[in-house]
Amino acid sequence: MFDRLPEVAQKLDIGISIASQLNFKRLAQNTVGIAQLQAYILKSPNDYQAYFDLAVCLFSEHDIER
């Protein structure tokens, strides 16, 4: 639906913000999810890809405090 907005609207600050948030949502959907990533990190604390994926998931939910 965002793609249907005029290009002028997409390039406004709010449009860029929305596009970024949608991108994080898409990236998060390609992970195994927060709960599984947290459990995996406990078992494999040196797996930095899991940390990155978890950060993407949390950021996509606006949970930047964790």
From first to last of the 66 residues of the chain, give the pLDDT tens digit: 767 767 777 787 888 888 888 999 999 999 999 999 999 999 999 999 999 999 999 999 987 677
Domain count, the chain: 1
- Domain assignment present for residue 32? The answer is yes
Say how many CA atoms lie within 13 Å of 64 toward its Cβ: 2
Token pair of 62, please? 């606006």
The pLDDT of residue 2:
66
The pLDDT of residue 47:
97
pTM: 0.75
- Domain assignment present for residue 66? The answer is no
Residue 62, sorted as left (phi over 0), alpha (psi -120 to 50) or beta, turns out to be left
The pLDDT of residue 28:
97
- Domain assignment present for residue 39? The answer is yes
Judge contact between 50 and 41, C-beta under 8 A: yes
- Domain assignment present for residue 65? The answer is no
Token pair of 13, please? 């600050």
- Domain assignment present for residue 15? The answer is yes
Residue 45: domain span? 2-60
- Domain assignment present for residue 50? The answer is yes
